[in-house]
Amino acid sequence: MIKIEHLNVFYSENKALTDVQLKLESGGIIGMIGPNGAGKSTLIKAILNIIPYSGRVLIEGKESKKFLKNIAYVEQKSNIDLTFPITVKECVSLGTYTGLKLFQKVGSKEWLRVAQALEKVNLSEYANRQIGELSGGQFQRVLLARCLVQEADYIFLDEPFVGIDSVSEKIIMDLLQYLKEQEKLILIVHHDLSKVKVYFDELIILNKEIIAYGKVKESFTHENLKKAYGDNIFIGD
């Protein structure tokens, strides 16, 4: 369980997040939506202690700093340099680092986990390719395989469905369902409102502060969306 108490984040003089209070339980896929600049990625980075914040973030009752190795984080894939000399399997193997000692190398056990994860995302045959040779959807699956090998209980994904093909979307959704059955807590930053009901069990609507949080049926209402996005919001049903 993740408990966020009175969380505030400032960027220079501007308040990016105001008094965020949340209690997220494991065993579900939680979506987080909000307009551009609403602070969605910022909230994730605050939980991960990547940016400074005031307030408290508790994971299983303890300071989140102590749980960082148990959180698998996939940033927006556009942030990653696809020309970097790293193969698909090496990229996935980064997820095993949290379990290795300071000078310990990735060993045969870890490579086996990497191979299994690549099989799960249906990319075994691409294991030795350079990451830039993959399509957007395939690379997103690589990042998800990296999450799998980390064997974390908390999984944060930032915009995983952007620019991917339907095959990758299906594979990713199946995998998220599998992780959900494993009682993982999955938090996904998302912007396409049309798929909210398909993807998520619970929904956080954010615009610098929490507008709504709860089961999708209860929180994904026109009224809440208007509060977050303004009067011009339109979603087809």
Out of 19, 75, 151, 201, the only residue in the binding site for other proteins (CB under 8 A) is: 75
Residue 139 beta carbon to other proteins: minimum distance, rounded to whole angstroms: 12
Closest CB 64 distance from other proteins, rounded Å? 10
If one asks whether residue 80 binds other proteins (CB under 8 A), the answer comes out as yes
- Residue 68 as a binder of other proteins (CB under 8 A): the answer is yes
Reading across the β-sheet that carries 54-59, which strands appear in turn? 14-24, 2-11, 54-59, 62-63
Q: Which of residues 37-56 bind other proteins (CB under 8 A)?
A: 48-50
Tell me the angle at which helices 108-120 and 136-150 cross, rounded to the nearest 10 degrees. 130
If the CB atoms of residues 61 and 85 are measured against other proteins, the closer one turns out to be 85
Closer residue to other proteins in complex, CB, 18/87: 87
Going through 97-229 in order, the beta strands assigned E by DSSP cover 154-158, 185-189, 202-206, 210-215
CA dist 188 and 200 (Å) reads 9
Report the site for other proteins in 81-110 (rule: CB under 8 A).
Answer: 81, 83-87, 90-91, 94, 97-98, 100, 103, 105-106
Locus of tokens 């609507």: 205
Stretch binding other proteins (CB under 8 A), from 13-21, 80-88, 179-187, 200-208: 80-88
> How is 15-49 classified by DSSP, letter by letter?
EEEEEEEEEE-SSEEEEEE-STTSSHHHHHHHHTT
Size of site (CB under 8 A) for other proteins: 31
Residue 202 near residue 216 (C-beta atoms within 8 A) = yes
Contact residues toward other proteins (CB under 8 A) are: 48-50, 65, 68-69, 71, 73, 75, 79-81, 83-87, 90-91, 94, 97-98, 100, 103, 105-106, 128-130, 132-133
